[in-house]
Amino acid sequence: MNSRKKTVSQTSVHAMVESIVGCKWSLHVLAQIRAGINRPGALERTADGLTQKVLSERLNKFLRFGILEKHSYPEVPPRVEYAFTPFGRKFLKLLDEVEELQRELG
C-alpha cells in the first residue's frame, strides 16, 4: 500500500488523466473492467486489435498509477483478476466528469 503510494506519487493526477484520455486502449480496458470483465484472457477477447502486449502494458500502467490492483489466486490453472482500488474508483469518477465537460464543449 505504502509502496503503491510511493509509486503513484511519481505521477501527478493530471498526467494520469492525460495519459488515459489520450489513449483509446486505456479507455477501453478501464471500461471493460468497470463492466466486470477483469481477467486478462477475457479482456483480450473484448476487442479485435487488442494484443496481449498492449493489454499488459495498459494493465501495468494502471497498477503503477494505483488505479488497479492485481489479485492472483493459487489455482490450477492460476487465476488472475484485476480490481479498482479505492483511489481508482474516485479516479474513474474524475474521468467521467472530464468526458462530460468535453461533451459540453461539443
Note the residues at the interface with a second copy (CB under 8 A). 5, 8-9, 12-15, 17-18, 21-22, 66, 87, 90-91, 93-94, 97-98, 101-102, 104-106
- Produce one character per residue of 8-35: b if its CB has 16 or more CB atoms within 10 Å, e if not: beeeeeeebeeebeebebbebbbebbee
Write down the least CB distance from residue 62 to a second copy, Å.
Answer: 14
Q: Which of 3, 63, 50, 52 is nearest to 24 (CA)?
A: 50
Write down the least CB distance from residue 54 to a second copy, Å.
Answer: 21
Q: Is the sign of the CA dihedral 72, 75, 81, 86 positive or negative?
A: negative
Q: Nearer Cβ to a second copy, position 9 or 72?
A: 9
Instruction: Give 75: exposed, middle or buried? Use CB within 10 Å, 0-12, 13-18, 19+.
Output: exposed
Q: Nearer Cβ to a second copy, position 43 or 65?
A: 65
Q: Nearer Cβ to a second copy, position 35 or 101?
A: 101
Write down the least CB distance from residue 101 to a second copy, Å.
Answer: 5
Q: Nearer Cβ to a second copy, position 31 or 94?
A: 94
